[in-house]
Amino acid sequence: MAEKTAKEMKEIILNKFAEVFGDTEGVKAYFAPGRVNMIGEHTDYNGGHVFPCALTIGTYGAARKREDRKLRFYSMNFSHLGIIESSLDDLKPAKEAGWTNYPKGVMWAFGERGYEIPCGMDLMLNGNIPNGSGLSSSASVEVLTGFILRDFFGFDVSNQDLALIGQFSENNFNGVNCGIMDQFAIAMGKEGHAIFLDTADLSYEYAPIKLENAKIVISCSNKKRGLGDSKYNERRSECETALAEIQTVVGINGLGDLTEEQFEQYKSAIKDEVRVKRAKHAVYENRRTVKAVEALKNNDVELFGKLMNASHISLQYDYEVTGIELDTLVEEAWKVDGVIGSRMTGAGFGGCTVSIVKTDAIDSFIEKVGKAYKEKIGYAADFYVVEIGDGPVVL
């Protein structure tokens, strides 16, 4: 499916804003991308490396200040909910607030940092990230909200601060114990590059993704999942316990500090077989990510693809976060000529896979994987050929 241009999306959202909120007097339009993680999954809360990039699909926003403290939210993706009203004096999470808990959480987090928001706003969103796909629609909304607040009120915060504020709000307002990767990739995105981020100290470098005659294809399983109620927090606590056990025999700050050899040397300190597997994934996946970035620097896309494949196997057997939908998408992808590498991406339990596919094989990839998936799972997957884009912008 052809993506609409940013200009078309801006026009659509401004027209809808006028329809819903009366007019477009004083309205500004914004965009924040979604992200895909190329490799380095479930390493970001284990003090390891990740390798995400921002996409040219994401969340469009239109906003204007109000004279009072009222907040009026409208999402074109959840138009059946109509306008959801709230107030700056009532920034607390509520189940019935639905998606508006994300922008409200960011407003709350700015307040926690001492940035007083002086007035309310009308905010309309329209995302072209598939909902529940694991391409970080929530983090995209968080970074977008922070970007709008900075633009409206002149707050002295960097894009990196916007990422940290977004993560803080998701952890403490929305109760999802996520790492920093999603918000960081979105706030700091750079066209044509992925971000090699060390989550232990937030040092990072941009690494160009040069795919000769190949493209990134996202396959969306269409199995919906919610992070908060998935096993995400459970995996996180398994790793924290394993880390504490290993720390009784060696001085490390995170599982990401270990090489494979060191892990094998010290793993007997972990008192439970399941936790051994979880920690093994965290350590080995981190080393794979470091090797994958080296491979790209050496223009070795084939090796990068092999490391992607190994990442999926580890997520399937050691971390156990894939499930039949994602495994089917990946295993069918591996059968197609012209697929350089394929793996699940995101938290797992549904969501998406990311594949690097030779340009002339994309049509047959979508056809073959799509057919096999529908036969096995009973409903269709969606496919998106994506480009790597920049961070948040005013349109």
Separation CA 130–CA 77 (nearest Å): 10
Range in 8-12, 221-225, 262-266 with the lowest mean pLDDT: 221-225
Domains and CATH numbers, the chain: 6-209 (3.30.230.10), 214-385 (3.30.70.890)
CA 47/CA 70 separation, integer angstroms: 40
Q: In this model, does residue 141 exceed pLDDT 70?
A: yes
Confidence class of residue 308 from pLDDT cuts 50, 70 and 90?
A: very high
Shortest CA distance to 216 belongs to which of 301, 129, 123? 301
C-alpha 218/C-alpha 386 separation (Å) is: 7
User: For residue 19, is pLDDT > 70?
Assistant: yes
Cβ neighbours for 338, distance < 8 A, ≥ 6 positions apart: 357, 358, 360, 361, 362, 364, 365
Per-residue confidence band for 228, with pLDDT thresholds at 50, 70 and 90: very low
Measured on CA atoms in the order 372, 375, 377, 382, is the torsion positive or negative? positive
Q: What whole-number distance in Å separates Cα of residue 293 and Cα of residue 240?
A: 26
Cα distances (angstroms) measured from residue 341 to each of 226, 285, 353, 377: 27, 15, 10, 22
Beta strands in 66-213, from DSSP E residues, in sequence order: 70-75, 84-87, 121-127, 193-198, 203-208
pLDDT score at 226? 55
* Dihedral angle computed from the Cα positions of residues 42, 46, 51 and 54, in that order, rounded to the nearest 10 degrees: 70
Q: Quote the pLDDT of residue 128.
A: 87
Strands 70-75 and 121-127: parallel
In sign, the C-alpha dihedral spanning 180, 44, 288, 214 is negative
Contact assessment for residue 233 and residue 217, using Cβ atoms and an 8 Å cutoff:
no
Is the model's pLDDT at 100 over the cut of 50? Answer: yes
* pLDDT average, residue stretch 49-55: 95
What is the maximum span of the chain, computed from C-alpha positions, in angstroms? 66
178: pLDDT strictly greater than 50:
yes
- Is residue 27 pLDDT above 50, yes or no? yes
Q: Is the pLDDT of residue 311 over 50?
A: yes
Averaged pLDDT of the chain = 93
DSSP code, position 58: E
Say which range, 24-33, 124-133, 206-215, 370-379, has the weakest mean pLDDT. Answer: 124-133
Mean pLDDT of 91-111: 94
| % the chain with pLDDT above 70 | 96
CB atoms within 10 A of CB 183: 30
**pTM for this model (two decimals):** 0.89
pLDDT band, very low/low/confident/very high, at 1 (cuts 50, 70, 90): very low
Which residues lie closer than 8 Å to 222 by C-beta, 6 or more apart? 130, 379, 380, 381, 382
Q: What percent of the chain has pLDDT over 90?
A: 84
Distance in angstroms (rounded) separating the CA atoms of residues 378 and 229:
24
Positions annotated as catalytic residues are 182
pLDDT at 122: 97
* pLDDT given at position 229: 52
Rounded Cα distance, 219 and 351, in Å: 9
**Residue pair 32/82 in contact by the 8 Å Cβ criterion:** no
pLDDT digit string, tens, across residues 327-369? 999 999 999 999 999 999 988 888 899 999 999 999 999 999 9
